[in-house]
Amino acid sequence: MGTMRRLMTAAAVTAALMAPELASAQGTLRIGMTLADIPLTTGQTDQGGEGQRFMGYTVYDALVNWDLTSADKASDLVPGLATEWAVDASDKTKWIFKLRQGAKFHDGSEFKAPAVVWNLDKLLNDKSPQYDPKQAAQGRSRIPAVASYKAVDDYTLEVTTKEPDAFLPYQLSWILISSPAHWETVGKDWVKFAEKPSGTGPWQLVSWTARERAEMLPFKDYWDKTRVPKLDKLILVPVPEAATRTSALRSGQVDWIEAPAPDAIPSLKQAGYAITSNGYPHNWTWHLSRAEGSPWNDIRIRKAANLAVDRDGLSELLGGMMVPAKGHVLPGSQWFGKPSFDITYDPDAAKALLAEAGYGPDKPVTVKVLISASGSGQMQPLPMNEYIQQTLGEVGIKVEFEVVEWNTMVNLWRAGAKSDQVKGANAINFTYFIQDPFTAFIRHLDSRLTAPNGTNWGWYNDPEMDALFTKAKNTFEPAEQAKVLQQVHEKFVDDALFLYVTHDVAPRAMSSKVKGFVQAQNWYQNFSSITVE
Amino acid sequence: MISYLIRRLLYSVPIALGVSLMIFMLVHLAPGDPISAIAPADAPPDVVERLRVDYGYDKPLPIQFGLWLGRAVTGDLGNSVASGQPVAAEVMSAVGNTILLSLCAAVFGFTLGAVLGFVAGYKQGRAMDKIATAIAVAGISVPHYWLGMVLVIVFSVQLNALPAVGMGPGGSNDWAWDWLHMRHLILPAITLAVIPIGIVMRTTRSAVAEILNQEFVQALRAKGLSERHVLGHVIRNVAPTVLAVMGLQLGYLLGGSILIETVFSWPGTGFLLNTAIFRRDIPMLQGTILVLALFFVFLNVVVDLIQTAVDPRIKRA
């Protein structure tokens, strides 16, 4: 009997040892993020696209949201807390936004136009009691067009822009609306608001611990019934180390991880984990200097470089986790247009172009590129750049690197190609968020946005391009605007204004229990349709 | 003794000042500033400048340091630039988590190290000695973050027996001394203990060997004392040296291991420092390092006192 009891105890201990970490409750999704910390919870999130993905469009809404329902078509704007918007026919700086009726904040207060004014003041008006430098840091630069704003009535908002700017709806998609009533309730204190925030989004943040976890529950009164979460709970866990993230998934501590390391993907697939990926508005390029003396001022060299990158080889290096670039935006983008220059791998054509420019494998043209060892959205910068160095070297472009740390890289990107800080580099490998017309095109090549006014890093200056940008900004009808943006993109590609390499595909690995996720072609994702078996 | 204690505690004031100044200068020497780390990369210069003013980084460095110091002496370490939360609260919660982990690692590592070292020193030249020495060399040589990853692959991924990350199913807030939480401690504590095992073992081994060769041990044996009693004398003579090393090791452990805490996502001071460094969160960096430095000073005082108690020949006047 004693032996039997001992055996049973031993079996029980063994079972306890082998039990996976906290067997999932029905309908709880635990996500391992790549972030090291929980993003700002007060409204405007920090920590880039991932911060907005998990703490922005979950807990909050913007006036104008992104359509996150389809994996097949490029994601575009849809009504959020505003149901419709239009620019005044006679005064193109005046916009009227009709606001959604019946939308509620998590604290129960009702969403009305004064709440939007209050939120814009939170970012732009440092005299207002709710002005929050932290959120202003994130939001202020996203709405450069906004000059003034007022509530016409409870459900009508008027926004005036500094000059006609048809991109205002895109700008407002960045601005997330926090609850003024809740801020009053917590004693007008953003630190307290951060502890238990209140937005109008489909998820309600109920608790969080810095660097450890955040827990969200569905907001059953969410205005968009198609986006009321099906899950019981969503838990976010920051796991910045890629190998640890994979281990956390495989040991059952999380059900989903962001960005598994490419070399872990085959073994994850083999172990039965689902890998999802999709193109999204991200590009991985070399942004070229057009300052005096830069070799990239010769279009033949720019085109030769674009023809000399073996993108299929690179794809193999990344385990297929990339979309080879055919231009600045994804081939399926509404702004792609019909460029005549076909970006492909053609080393012979590249050599011919270089020969025409007076260079070749025996007499290479030398370029110097700023690269980082890691960084937000940079994918695998070291092996990728070394691969490109090799393929460009084969046609006669000798590549030298200046490797810098990521924070330094951000500063060098702001400083521009003419700055002494870049130490003579004539290209920078800085990956881009290219989700709206400003972030995709204008900020890189508008001649008015060279340092220190903006991030036209290469000092590109082409009146024809500036005119196209102005035209796009003044084209208010969406279909017409898309046509102008297609012309912009055609010029980007035909003039080979960047070295286009690839687009990231945002790989995610998840347990087979996770169902119903549709990976939209967007930096943000919809977690409402997901269930966990 | 009291005056010694007061003097030692007073020494910690210039040390804390020196550490704060040094850290302040180092973080400002590093490329990138807190504002570039928090503002979106494409924030226009007026926004960045505005932020600099909002956060007080527009003031000259000596003034920034003075302001910070003025608040720090009152116990206010400021707010984190990144999260906006008070630094003092964040640091104390992280320190608590690190203490938990490092004490477990210390208990395991020191016990194993001391026992192995004692056996090795006592059985010098024998197989036991060689095995224990091999363990010590391995402990010191193996990169512990690598070992951590290997342990995770074996015990978390392959055997699915122990969790790979975090401090429990609900995080550090609901820590409890039950199996569900304690199993989170096992892998990081073992990994963290590897270096102390090696160091304590080597120190103990050489100290034991040295004491055993001293004449008083021969005298004790000649007096006919049993081997057990002789060993008792050896232990008392070895203790001060081993304790001093353990004290230092405990200091290192309590400082938090950036690598191990990052590998296991353990929310301690190492993980906090790592995050603060990458986000250029200067108030957080300064606060954490200051607290750790003071902790180290305090711990050395405690070790000194214990040494005196164990070996009255060491006088602290």
The string of DSSP codes covering A285-300 is EEEEP-STT-GGGSHH
pLDDT score at B31? 66
Q: Which helix (H) or strand (E) holds A209?
A: strand A203-209
pLDDT score at A64? 97
Q: Which residues of A139-151 are buried (b: 16+ CB within 10 A; e: fewer)?
A: bbbbbbbbeebeb
Residues of B in contact with A411 (CB under 8 A): 31-32, 36
Beta-carbon contacts of residue B55 (< 8 Å; ≥ 6 apart): A133, B34, B35, B81
Which chain A residue has the Cα nearest residue B186? A17
Q: Which has the higher per-residue pLDDT, B72 or A55?
A: A55
Determine phi and psi for A216, rounding to 5 degrees.
Answer: -125, 145
Q: Which of A2, A8, A54 is nearest to A31 (CA)?
A: A54
- Look at B36 and A48 and tell me if their CB atoms are within 8 Å: no
Beta A233-238 vs A28-33: how paired, if at all?
A: parallel
Question: Of A42, A46, A209, which is closest to B38 when you measure between CB atoms?
Answer: A46
Question: Of B40, B149, B162, which is closest to A138 when you measure between CB atoms?
Answer: B40
Average pLDDT, chain B: 86
Span A262-287, average pLDDT: 93
How many angstroms separate the CA atoms of B266 and B258, rounded? 10
pLDDT score at A308? 97
pLDDT score at B75? 84
Determine phi and psi for A469, rounding to 5 degrees.
Answer: -60, -45
Span A417-431, average pLDDT: 95
* ipTM of the shown complex: 0.80
pLDDT in tens, A171-213: 999 999 999 999 999 999 998 999 999 999 999 999 998 888 9
Using alpha carbons, list the distances in angstroms from residue A155 to A99, A128, A180, B20: 5, 22, 16, 53
pLDDT in tens, A245-255: 999 999 899 99
DSSP, residue by residue, B187-234: HHHHHHHHHHHHHHHHHHHHHHHHHHTSHHHHHHHHTT--HHHHHHHH
* Side chain identity, residue B206: S
B281–chain A nearest CA distance, Å? 12
Q: What share of chain A is helix, strand, coil (3-state, %, to 5)?
A: 35, 20, 45
How many angstroms separate the CA atoms of A7 and A9, rounded? 5
Residues of A in contact with B82 (CB under 8 A): 37, 46
Lowest-confidence region among A211-220, B41-50, B77-86: B41-50
Residues of A in contact with B167 (CB under 8 A): 212
Q: Which of A501, A452, A92 is nearest to A328 (CA)?
A: A501
Span A478-488, average pLDDT: 96
Residues of B in contact with A18 (CB under 8 A): 159-161
Task: Say which CATH architecture domain B87-316 belongs to.
Answer: Orthogonal Bundle (1.10)
Q: Strand, helix or coil at A521? A: strand
pLDDT surpassing 80 at residue A160: yes
Lowest-confidence region among A127-131, B35-39, B176-180: B35-39
Which chain A residue has the Cα nearest residue B35? A137
- Look at B45 and A452 and tell me if their CB atoms are within 8 Å: yes
Using alpha carbons, list the distances in angstroms from residue B133 to A17, B241, B247: 31, 19, 22
Residues of B in contact with A38 (CB under 8 A): 83
How many angstroms separate the CA atoms of A333 and A108, rounded? 39
- Look at B45 and A453 and tell me if their CB atoms are within 8 Å: yes
pLDDT score at A16? 42
How many angstroms separate the CA atoms of A279 and A215, rounded? 28
Question: Where does the pLDDT of residue B315 fall: very low under 50, low under 70, confident under 90, or very high at 90 and above?
Answer: low
Q: Which helix (H) or strand (E) holds A498?
A: strand A498-503
Lowest-confidence region among A211-220, A297-306, B47-56, B145-154: B47-56
Whether the Cβ atoms of residue A430 and residue A413 lie closer than 8 Å to each other: yes
pLDDT surpassing 70 at residue A453: yes
Question: Of B38, B165, B171, which is closest to A248 when you measure between CB atoms?
Answer: B165
Question: Of A18, A212, A250, which is closest to B267 when you measure between CB atoms?
Answer: A212
- Look at B163 and A21 and tell me if their CB atoms are within 8 Å: yes
pLDDT score at B32? 65
Q: How many helices (H) and strands (E) does chain B have?
A: 13, 0
Residues of B in contact with A240 (CB under 8 A): 262, 265, 275
A215–chain B nearest CA distance, Å? 10
pLDDT surpassing 80 at residue B37: no
* Side chain identity, residue A10: A
A257–chain B nearest CA distance, Å? 13
Beta-carbon contacts of residue A57 (< 8 Å; ≥ 6 apart): A65, A66, A68, A176, A201, A524
Span A251-270, average pLDDT: 91
Question: Of B82, B166, B280, which is closest to A253 when you measure between CB atoms?
Answer: B166
Q: Where in the sequence of chain B do the CATH 1.10.3720.10 domains occur?
A: 87-316
Q: Strand, helix or coil at A401? A: strand
Residues of A in contact with B44 (CB under 8 A): 141, 144, 453-454
Question: Of A212, A244, A453, which is closest to B164 when you measure between CB atoms?
Answer: A244
Q: Which of A336, A524, A300 is nearest to A441 (CA)?
A: A336
pLDDT score at B45? 74
Which chain A residue has the Cα nearest residue B49? A137
Question: Of A38, A209, A453, which is closest to B44 when you measure between CB atoms?
Answer: A453
DSSP, residue by residue, A67-123: --S-SSSB--EEESSEEEEEE-SS-TTEEEEEEPSS-B-TTSPBP-HHHHHHHHHHH
Whether the Cβ atoms of residue A245 and residue A260 lie closer than 8 Å to each other: yes
Residues of B in contact with A142 (CB under 8 A): 40
- Look at A247 and B165 and tell me if their CB atoms are within 8 Å: yes
- Look at A454 and B42 and tell me if their CB atoms are within 8 Å: yes
Q: Strand, helix or coil at B261? A: helix
Q: Which of A83, A84, A81 is nearest to A105 (CA)?
A: A81
Residues of A in contact with B84 (CB under 8 A): 40, 42, 134, 190-191, 194
Residues of A in contact with B271 (CB under 8 A): 36, 211
Span B174-196, average pLDDT: 90
Instruction: List strands edge to edge, sheet with A156-161.
Output: A82-87, A94-99, A156-161, A146-153
Max mean pLDDT among A27-36, A495-504, B288-297 falls in: A495-504
Question: Where does the pLDDT of residue A43 fall: very low under 50, low under 70, confident under 90, or very high at 90 and above?
Answer: very high
Q: Which of A372, A384, A375 is nearest to A318 (CA)?
A: A384
How is residue A421 annotated by DSSP? G
Beta-carbon contacts of residue A75 (< 8 Å; ≥ 6 apart): A66, A67, A68, A280, A281, A435, A520, A521, A522
- Look at B156 and A247 and tell me if their CB atoms are within 8 Å: yes
pLDDT surpassing 70 at residue A492: yes
- Look at A247 and B37 and tell me if their CB atoms are within 8 Å: no
Q: Which of B254, B107, B143, B136 is nearest to B199 (CA)?
A: B136
Interface test with B, best of A128, A407, A439 (most B CBs within 10 A): A407
Interface test with A, best of B157, B179, B277 (most A CBs within 10 A): B157
Question: Of B39, B55, B169, which is closest to A21 when you measure between CB atoms?
Answer: B169
* Side chain identity, residue A119: N
Residues of B in contact with A20 (CB under 8 A): 160
pLDDT score at A10? 46
Q: Which helix (H) or strand (E) holds A138?
A: helix A133-139
- Look at A210 and B85 and tell me if their CB atoms are within 8 Å: yes
pLDDT surpassing 90 at residue A377: no
How many angstroms separate the CA atoms of B237 and B206, rounded? 12
Question: Of A243, A407, A408, which is closest to B149 when you measure between CB atoms?
Answer: A243
Question: Of B44, B164, B272, which is closest to A253 when you measure between CB atoms?
Answer: B164
- Look at B160 and A252 and tell me if their CB atoms are within 8 Å: yes
Residues of A in contact with B172 (CB under 8 A): 209, 212
How many angstroms separate the CA atoms of A445 and A497, rounded? 9
Total residues found in chain B within this entry: 317
Residues of B in contact with A251 (CB under 8 A): 152, 156-157, 160, 162-164
- A421 token code pair: 């800080």
Which chain A residue has the Cα nearest residue B148? A244
pLDDT surpassing 60 at residue A11: no
- Look at A251 and B157 and tell me if their CB atoms are within 8 Å: yes
Average pLDDT, chain A: 92
How many angstroms separate the CA atoms of A139 and A171, rounded? 10
How many angstroms separate the CA atoms of B8 and A93, rounded? 69
How many angstroms separate the CA atoms of B317 and B298, rounded? 18
**What are the beta bridge partners of residue A275?**
A509
pLDDT score at B72? 85
The owner of tokens 């702004």 is A335
What sign for the dihedral angle of Cα A306, A307, A313, A316?
A: positive
- Look at A250 and B41 and tell me if their CB atoms are within 8 Å: no
Residues of A in contact with B160 (CB under 8 A): 18, 20, 251-252
Percentage of residues in chain B having pLDDT higher than 70: 97
Q: Does pTM top 0.90 for this prediction?
A: no
- Look at B32 and A411 and tell me if their CB atoms are within 8 Å: yes
The owner of tokens 């807390």 is A81
Q: Which of A419, A335, A333, A324 is nearest to A370 (CA)?
A: A419
